[in-house]
Amino acid sequence: MSSVPLPLQPVQAIGRSVLGIVRTTGAAALFAARAFLAVVSPRWFFGQFARQLASIGYYSLPVVGLTAAFTGAALALNIYTGGGRFNAEQIMPQIVALGITRELGPVLAALMLAGRVSAAIAAEIGAMRATEQIDALQTLSTDPFRYLIAPRLAAAVIVLPLLTVVADIIGIAGGWVVATRTLDFNATVYIRNTWDFLQSWDVVSGLIKAAVFGAIIALMGCYHGFTASGGARGVGRAATNAVVSAAILIFAADYLLTTAFTHR
Partner 1 sequence: MSDAPPKLEWRGVSKRFDGKPVLRGLDLSVAPGGSLVVIGGSGQGKSVAIKIAAGLMAPDAGRVLIDGQDVAAMPAGERRRLPARFGMLFQGAALFDSLTVWENVAFRLVNADGVARKAAKARALEALDRVRIERTAAGLYPNELSGGMQKRVGLARAMVANPEIIFFDEPTTGLDPITGRAINALIREQVKSLGCTAVSITHDLESARKIGDEIAMLKDGVIVWRGPAAELDRSGNADVEAFVRGDPSPTPV
DSSP letter (8 states) at residue 42 = S
**Per-residue CA distances from 73 to 18, 98, 190 (Å):** 43, 14, 14
Closest distance to partner 1 from the beta carbon of 213 (Å): 26
**Residue number with CB closer to partner 1 (3 or 141):** 141
**Residue number with CB closer to partner 1 (48 or 240):** 48
Closest distance to partner 1 from the beta carbon of 42 (Å): 12
Closest distance to partner 1 from the beta carbon of 146 (Å): 9
**Residue number with CB closer to partner 1 (130 or 160):** 130
Distance CA 228, CA 69 (A): 36
Among 143, 133, 194, smallest CA distance to 168 is for 194
The C-alpha R_g of the chain, in whole angstroms, comes to: 22
Closest distance to partner 1 from the beta carbon of 89 (Å): 53
Q: Which residues bind partner 1 (CB under 8 A)?
A: 45, 131-133, 135-136, 138-142, 147
Closest distance to partner 1 from the beta carbon of 34 (Å): 15
DSSP letter (8 states) at residue 85 = T
Dihedral (Cα; 60, 63, 67, 179), 10-degree rounding: 100
Distance CA 237, CA 256 (A): 28
Find out whether 170 and 69 touch, Cβ atoms under 8 Å.
yes
**Residue number with CB closer to partner 1 (141 or 262):** 141
**Residue number with CB closer to partner 1 (127 or 154):** 127
